Structure 1
Amino acid sequence: MMGLESEIDKSVLRARLAAERDALNEELRVVWSERCSQHLVNYVQECGFNRILAYVPFRSELNISPFVEWCWSSDVEVWVPRCRRQDRSMTFYRLRDWDNLVDGAYGIKEPDPETMETLSEAVLPDLVIVPGLGFDYHGGRIGYGGGYYDRYAAAASNDWKSKPVSWIGVGYESQIMEKVPTEAHDLRLGGIATETGVRTSIEA
């Protein structure tokens, strides 16, 4: 279990990384988001993926909306999460239009569970796109502290053994760190996508 000192250190790091991302030039964020979205399009086309677990962009996160909209026009399924605060779990729903979203946890737009299709445990994705505050080229990621993706990945690892699933972090190149502080239970990514491209040759 992570000690109190380490938890404080991570909280300080998260605050710094969030402030640095917020301070990025807004016009450049738009340009970088479009470039990254195109790299994701190329990656999905090259790999032949048909079902994507994605995220709904929030605040200064890299905006993958152009990629999501390309998926819709290309018959690639997009599923996005709804967070459950009680146990910090996520349930994914099929997103077909931005109007499907309602106000959810933490001020993030989330799927409307009354009107949208839930992802069955028997249905496996090809790609999981994960946001975050910081990443490294060793598969490390620092998120927002809720542990949602860590829990989801841990549960999915048992259900998805029959099929390889790609886990890709998405962020600006400036969010890449030399080494993200990680614990044994933290999600390990298989690649990182930024405005410069998609890198899947993660170093040990």
Structure 2
Amino acid sequence: MDKKELRAIILKQLKELPIETRENFNKSLLKQLKETNEWKQAQTIAVTLSRFPEVDTELLVQAAWDDGKQLVIPYSGKNRKLSFYVYSPQTKIKQSRFGLWEPENREDEIKKERIDLIIVPGLAYSDKGYRVGFGGGYYDRYLASYTGKTISILYPFQLEQETSSLTESFDIPVQKLLIAFE
């Protein structure tokens, strides 16, 4: 199986996941995340604004604001360069050419050193933290020189042993995986 096939399988499973199960998984993930030292100690957290059928980050965003944390969201720039900008309830966002929600105003980029925790998106993960993302390598490029903490939140079927055989030399593993349960 190659990455394209694995992406298709996981996306199909995500789309077919019953709403009630998805909601229970999301609550489980938020509870687990808030109990981690990485979350508790982080002042600035990077997160992608999810879109269906991805693992939902809406509860996480609200919890971060409720906990007084600064959120930053990514912008997918030229040359596959990822950069992050502050995200608050007042931030104007727009959809990128990839369909991702990104900040309209990109005047004050938040430097890597100021980001304490990145919630790294993906589709499939090995038990060692290697992931198959959505393609493009934006996060692997960014994480190559990032020294903060990384966590991915995933549904049980996204932990896929096949992912290990698809690892490439430039892949950067996520430090901690949180797996939802009902």
Q: Which runs of 5+ in 1 are unaligned?
A: 1-7, 198-204
User: How many residues in Structure 1 have an aligned counterpart in Structure 2?
Assistant: 180
Number of the residue aligned with 1:36: 29
2:60 aligned with 1:67: yes
Which AA in structure 2 matches 1:55? Answer: T
Q: Which runs of 5+ in 2 are unaligned?
A: none
Number of the residue aligned with 2:104: 112
Q: How far 1:133 sits from its partner (Å)?
A: 0.8
Which AA in structure 1 matches 2:157? Answer: S
- Contact residue 38 and residue 67 of structure 1 kept, 8 A: no
2:180 aligned with 1:190: no
Number of the residue aligned with 1:202: none
Query: 2:2 aligns to what SS in structure 1?
Result: helix
Q: How far 1:99 sits from its partner (Å)?
A: 5.1
Q: Distance in 1 between matches of 2:7 and 2:180?
A: 22
- Residue by residue over 1:12-71, the C-alpha shift from the partner in whole angstroms, topping out at 9 and shown as x without a partner, is 221122112211112211221122112212225774221111111111111121121111
Q: Distance in 1 between matches of 2:108 and 2:5?
A: 38
- Residue by residue over 1:47-105, the C-alpha shift from the partner in whole angstroms, topping out at 9 and shown as x without a partner, is 42211111111111111211211111221111110112x31111101111175321223
Runs of 4+ in 1 over 3 A off after TM superposition: 44-47
Q: Distance in 2 between matches of 1:112 and 1:44?
A: 32
Query: 2:161 aligns to what SS in structure 1?
Result: coil
2:160 aligned with 1:177: yes
- Residue by residue over 1:149-191, the C-alpha shift from the partner in whole angstroms, topping out at 9 and shown as x without a partner, is 011112x24xx4xxxx211112111211124120110121111
Summarize the Cα distance change of 1:169–1:143 in structure 2 as closer, same or farther, 3 Å threshold: same
Q: How far 1:113 sits from its partner (Å)?
A: 2.1
RMSD: 2.2
Number of the residue aligned with 1:168: 151
Quote the sequence identity (%): 25
Summarize the Cα distance change of 1:24–1:166 in structure 2 as closer, same or farther, 3 Å threshold: same
TM-score relative to the length of structure 1: 0.79
